[in-house]
Structure 1
Amino acid sequence: MEGKEEDVRLGANKFTERQPLGTSAQTKDYKEPPPAPLFEPGELQSWSFWRAGIAEFVATFLFLYITVLTVMGVQRSSSKCASVGIQGIAWAFGGMIFALVYCTAGISGGHINPAVTFGLLLARKLSLSRAVFYMIMQCLGAICGAGVVKGFQPSQYEMLGGGANVVNHGYTKGSGLGAEIVGTFVLVYTVFSATDAKRSARDSHVPILAPLPIGFAVFLVHLATIPITGTGINPARSLGAAIIFNKGHAWDDHWIFWVGPFIGAALAALYHTIVIRAIPFKSRA
């Protein structure tokens, strides 16, 4: 019996990975990383800084190219049932974000969206100089991506709307603004949760591929808000399509696709930092 009891004790301690979720946090040493400096002039001399901006440019370029073509394909069809439809558009946006975040996460962080960059800036995850550089490169990439689509199909691009975001008929500007705020909140909140270093340390026995929930969040938001605004939640995407399409109605409500995403990103950053992580209270302690 004593031998059996010893075997039982050994067996109980042998498979520590079967602890309930969260209990492994007690055995992990985790230190909160210091906030990124607001200004970091030294990084301007680093190749990794410029390489990251180039990665953001290329990723946003590819994002606009694929997604605008998908939107135009649905608009061109005489029936939504004869094309990929709204679900296909949502999958194109979410799938491209999944693929591109996966490709660029180790280089630039895989933002591909000024609203995401803005939220991470507010949470002090990157410097102001890097954030501004990312936003510029994202917007340039979006303009070039939409421009290439128009260059390949100029007449079709003009006729099919060029993927420009507008508040659709039957919805007010307030409805469009609300959709952009909440949609961007969902996206940026998912980005914070999927990339949280403390969560990775606590639940390291539960592998999480960060680009997957981020891409899936984009997919779900598009399903919900395509009928309202065509779904912006990305100021660079909205700006690129608006500049290349350059028709009056594409600019009428364009402010919504900047104000809404930036408000949503700010709310997500505050919620994650203050409520979920309680970082200001830890600093005081």
Structure 2
Amino acid sequence: MFSADGGSAVFAAAFPELGIGFLGVSLAFGLTVLTMAYAVGHISGGHFNPAVTVGLWSAGRCANKHVLPYIVVQVIGAVLAAGLLWLIASGKPDWMPAGFASNGYGALSPGKYSMGACFVAELVLTFFFLMIIIGTTSKGTAAGFAGIPIGLALALIHLISIPVTNTSVNPARSTAPALFSGAVYVGQLWLFWVAPIAGAMLAGILAKILYEPADMIETVVVEEAKAA
């Protein structure tokens, strides 16, 4: 997935005259999640993000046995996609990798935001992202439409936080470009694992409290109706 959304950031930086800009990159990330959710969501649940997997696990929506394999595959897929992007982008004679769409705080933050500010941004935005994912896939919601609000939510998150951290809310998305950008970016990866996963787990725990009672009530009503 990084090859599509990360590509918009890498190539937009290489060709600013094309005008995709800040809004275009944000929409690319959101549209990528939306399209992929409909493409493979019926196969795997559409997990492209370790924070989403952990958040859904903490909400009781993902089996223990799936958590580690999902995360491993997500990271491998992101790294392969970043390698493909590097191969394509390096075909431009005067291309400079710069940060290669990496995430960062302090001197590596697009707006030079502090570590604390970046940590809070990633935690809070991932929290709300998971609340939207869990809420739109819960019982009683319009079946088949969850990909739309999820994709729009991710676009909105990017509009808010690109100036702060270049937007992660996804540890796999952060890991892949950092590995191609050098030790300084790798050294900051901890924040883009800890903050998103912490935010996702908080959302999962809260969602379990909010949605599980409603799901249980619905089940009881159905069972009572069958018994009658």
| TM exceeding 0.5 | yes
2:224 aligns with: none
Decide which of 161, 166, 178 is 2:99's aligned counterpart.
Answer: 161
Structure 2 matches for 1:91-240, cutoff 5 A? 91-154=27-90, 158-167=96-105, 168=109, 169-196=111-138, 198-200=139-141, 209-240=145-176
1:251 aligns with: 186
Q: Which moved more, 1:123-132 or 1:105-114?
A: 123-132
Q: Which moved more, 1:93-102 or 1:178-187?
A: 178-187
1:160 and 1:77, CA in 2 relative to 1: closer, same or farther beyond 3 A? farther
Counterpart amino acid of residue 55 in structure 2: G
- Whole-Å separation in 2 of the counterparts to 1:78 and 1:89: 12
1:48 aligns with: none
> What secondary structure does 1:171 align onto?
coil
- Structure with max Cα Rg: 1
2:24 aligns with: 88
Is the Cα contact below 8 Å between 1:116 and 1:265 reproduced in 2? yes
Is the Cα contact below 8 Å between 1:76 and 1:160 reproduced in 2? no
1:73 aligns with: 11
Counterpart amino acid of residue 217 in structure 1: A
> What secondary structure does 1:106 align onto?
helix
Using the TM superposition, give the Cα deviation of residue 265 of structure 1 relative to its aligned residue in structure 2, in angstroms: 0.3
Structure with the larger RCO, 1 or 2 (CA within 8 Å, 6+ apart)? 2
> What secondary structure does 1:180 align onto?
helix
Counterpart amino acid of residue 170 in structure 1: K
Q: Normalising by structure 1, what TM-score?
A: 0.69
Is the Cα contact below 8 Å between 1:194 and 1:208 reproduced in 2? no
Deviations 1:177-196 (A, max 9, x none): 01101111111111101110
1:158 and 1:255, CA in 2 relative to 1: closer, same or farther beyond 3 A? farther
Using the TM superposition, give the Cα deviation of residue 77 of structure 1 relative to its aligned residue in structure 2, in angstroms: 3.6
2:201 aligns with: 266
1:249 and 1:225, CA in 2 relative to 1: closer, same or farther beyond 3 A? same
Using the TM superposition, give the Cα deviation of residue 139 of structure 1 relative to its aligned residue in structure 2, in angstroms: 0.4
- Whole-Å separation in 1 of the counterparts to 2:19 and 2:99: 17
Using the TM superposition, give the Cα deviation of residue 153 of structure 1 relative to its aligned residue in structure 2, in angstroms: 2.5
- Whole-Å separation in 2 of the counterparts to 1:234 and 1:255: 12
Question: Where in structure 1 do 4 or more consecutive aligned residues deviate above 6 Å?
Answer: none
> What secondary structure does 1:232 align onto?
coil
1:155 and 1:253, CA in 2 relative to 1: closer, same or farther beyond 3 A? farther
Q: Percent identity?
A: 30
Aligned residues: CA RMSD: 2.3
- Whole-Å separation in 2 of the counterparts to 1:243 and 1:90: 23
Is the Cα contact below 8 Å between 2:175 and 2:186 reproduced in 1? no
Structure 2 matches for 1:52-71, cutoff 5 A? 63-71=1-9
- Whole-Å separation in 2 of the counterparts to 1:242 and 1:159: 11
Return 5+ residue gaps in structure 2 as ranges: 218-228
Is the Cα contact below 8 Å between 1:188 and 1:265 reproduced in 2? yes
> What secondary structure does 1:163 align onto?
coil
Q: Normalising by structure 2, what TM-score?
A: 0.85
